[in-house]
Amino acid sequence: MRSTWEYKDRGQKGYDLTERLFTIIRENFKELTIIGPERAGKDVILGELFEDYPKPDRPVDFVLIYKGKPIAVGLARYDSDRGGAQEDDRTGQYRDCAAEMLNYAKKKKIPLKVIFLNDGPGLLLGSMWRDYEYLENTWPGLVRVVTLRMFSERITVNWLISKEK
């Protein structure tokens, strides 16, 4: 039987991750607005953000807004210890989520990008980073996978507002 002590800090590193992301956006991307739970809280529900979204209960961790319009949606995860089947689950979920969001954006002619922010030592296990590279290559110019350290280098306002397909 596991004690509750084992779970006392569960999620804290993920909350720290999103808090730091909000700080990066506010300090380095003053032309953008970010919405979502800065630490713990209710995710952004895409059915509440986009009319006729095919899976209206789809949660995302953050949305970047430029001049009042959503330009990017993102998921943020801290992987402290992943590998094997868990690794496949994460990248498979990301693939399905990206396909769903980008198909909707294409159908509605919304220039939307998808950002997967991951951090933590779990990125070094197995083939996870190669799987993330595959996601970017599947939707070139529309999906970026980043860590906090590379966020400001790989995510730029020019990329976010570009009409790349």
- Choice among 47-51, 86-90, 113-117 with the minimum mean pLDDT: 86-90
Answer yes or no: is 6 within a domain.
no
- Identify whether 8 is part of a domain: no
pLDDT, one tens digit per residue, over 24-54 is: 999 999 999 999 988 777 889 999 999 899 9
Classify burial at 114, counting beta carbons within 10 Å of its beta carbon; exposed 0-12, middle 13-18, buried 19 or more: buried
Domain assignment present for residue 9? The answer is no
Flag whether 2 is in a domain. Answer: no
Q: Is 136 left (phi over 0), alpha (psi -120 to 50) or beta?
A: alpha
What average pLDDT does this structure show over 89-108? 87
Domain that holds residue 150: 15-72+83-161
**Structural domain includes residue 89:** yes
Is 44 within the bounds of a domain?
Answer: yes
Contacts of residue 33, Cβ cutoff 8 Å, sequence gap at least 6: 64, 65, 66
* Residue 94 reports pLDDT greater than 90: no
In a domain, 5, yes or no: no
Backbone phi, then psi, for 103, in 5-degree steps? -65, -40
Residue 134 is assigned to a structural domain of this protein: yes
pLDDT value for 81: 57
pLDDT at 139 over 90: yes
Mean pLDDT of 9-21: 70
Confidence of residue 15 (pLDDT cuts 50, 70, 90): low
Q: How many domains does the chain have?
A: 1
- 84: pLDDT confidence band, cut at 50, 70 and 90? very low
